[in-house]
Amino acid sequence: MTKRARASRAWLDRQLNGQSSRRLITYSWNAERWHARNLALELVELGYPNVSWYRGGVEAWDVAGYPVVEKR
């Protein structure tokens, strides 16, 4: 495991309070952006067992009428 991967794993483990089996969902702006897919693959590679990729992203979520809250 690379130094970057170890640092990412340590940071995420802190965010998850050590509960690495919690569901992680990655998403980008829309289906044409692949950053979230790549992140999901990296998380699986790091050993997280419950990773999903929301392919449609924020754009599809908004079109479906689901709530979107802007963080300030």
Asked whether residue 70 is domain-assigned, the answer is no
Inform me whether the pLDDT recorded for 38 exceeds 90: yes
Percent of the chain with pLDDT over 70: 100
Asked whether residue 9 is domain-assigned, the answer is no
SS3 49: coil
Beta bridge partners of 30: none
| Tally of structural domains, the chain | 1
Question: How crowded is residue 9: how many other Cβ atoms within 10 Å of its Cβ?
Answer: 16
Q: What value does the mean pLDDT take over residues 38-61?
A: 95
Asked whether residue 36 is domain-assigned, the answer is yes
Asked whether residue 14 is domain-assigned, the answer is no
